[in-house]
């Protein structure tokens, strides 16, 4: 299988965008730690796991070792900076939660596309590459919720679509690869597809359907 070796942006621009995405993901992890009344060490752990967990899962599976999180000091330090911001300014950060969610949506789109491309570069087939693109985008959030003793957000019916936009973005990438149409320009369009879908889901509260003809009601579920 011929590697793609396609960069959406120049290395320096890609690196900056990665750090921005890592910072925003880390903010969400640190905020959950605050809500759970964790100490500063717990905040840092949740920030690091949320920001870097998805990329670590991908890199370990594809054999890209040591993972980027351990070879680039900026990747490791950025979540600690986010932890410091939340530690001192968490009330103010909570008030701009909508803005954070917009940046989070952008990070979701960027990471699902970059993760899919990197997995394919390392020789995985299209289906596996898309799966790891999804894991790159949402894996950190799943680990965050598990460490926070919560049901992962992407498994909850009462949360706006999160995994689906990442799946769409990753699917667009593998279709482009299949037809040899993946370029920096079309890659950006894949990012925008995932980003726009996530924004629409937040705006209109789109949620995935549940089992057909299910009998339990939301009120009953509260007592299960």
pLDDT at position 218 is: 55
Please list, in sequence order, all residues whose beta carbon lies within 8 angstroms of the beta carbon of residue 129, skipping any fewer than 6 positions away. 116, 117, 119, 120, 170, 173, 174, 177
- At 133-154, the pLDDT tens digits run 999 999 999 999 999 999 998 8
**Cis-peptide into 4, omega within 30 deg:** no
- At 2-47, the pLDDT tens digits run 444 556 677 888 889 899 999 999 999 999 999 999 999 999 999 9
- Structure tokens given for 24: 């925003």
Alpha helix (H) residue ranges in 64-162 = 68-71, 73-95, 97-121, 126-147
Global confidence as pTM: 0.90
pLDDT at position 221 is: 55
| Closest to 29 (Cα-Cα) out of 85, 95, 109, 102 | 85
* b/e sequence 14-52, b meaning 16+ C-beta within 10 Å: eeebbbebbbbbbbbbbbbbbeeebeeebbbbbbbbbbb
């Amino acid at each position: 299988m011929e590697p793609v070796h396609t960069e959406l942006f120049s290395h320096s621009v890609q690196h900056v965008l990665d750090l921005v995405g890592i910072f925003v993901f880390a903010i969400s992890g640190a905020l959950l730690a605050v809500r759970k009344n964790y100490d500063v060490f717990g905040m840092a752990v949740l920030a690091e796991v949320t920001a870097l967990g998805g990329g670590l899962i991908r890199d370990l599976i594809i054999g890209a070792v040591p993972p980027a999180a351990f070879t680039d000091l900026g990747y490791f330090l950025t979540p600690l900076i986010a932890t410091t911001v939340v530690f001192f300014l968490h009330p103010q950060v909570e008030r701009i939660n909508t803005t954070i969610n917009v940046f989070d949506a952008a990070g979701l789109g960027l990471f699902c596309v970059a993760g899919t491309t990197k997995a394919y570069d390392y020789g995985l087939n299209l289906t596996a590459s898309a799966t790891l693109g999804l894991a790159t985008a949402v894996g950190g959030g799943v680990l965050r919720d598990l460490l926070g003793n919560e049901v992962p957000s992407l498994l909850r019916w009462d949360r706006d679509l999160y995994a689906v936009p990442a799946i769409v973005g990753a699917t667009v990438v593998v279709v482009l690869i299949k037809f040899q149409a993946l370029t920096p320009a079309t890659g950006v369009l894949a990012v925008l597809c995932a980003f726009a879908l996530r924004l629409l889901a937040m705006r209109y509260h789109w949620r995935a359907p549940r089992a057909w003809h299910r009998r339990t009601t939301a009120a009953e579920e509260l007592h299960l």
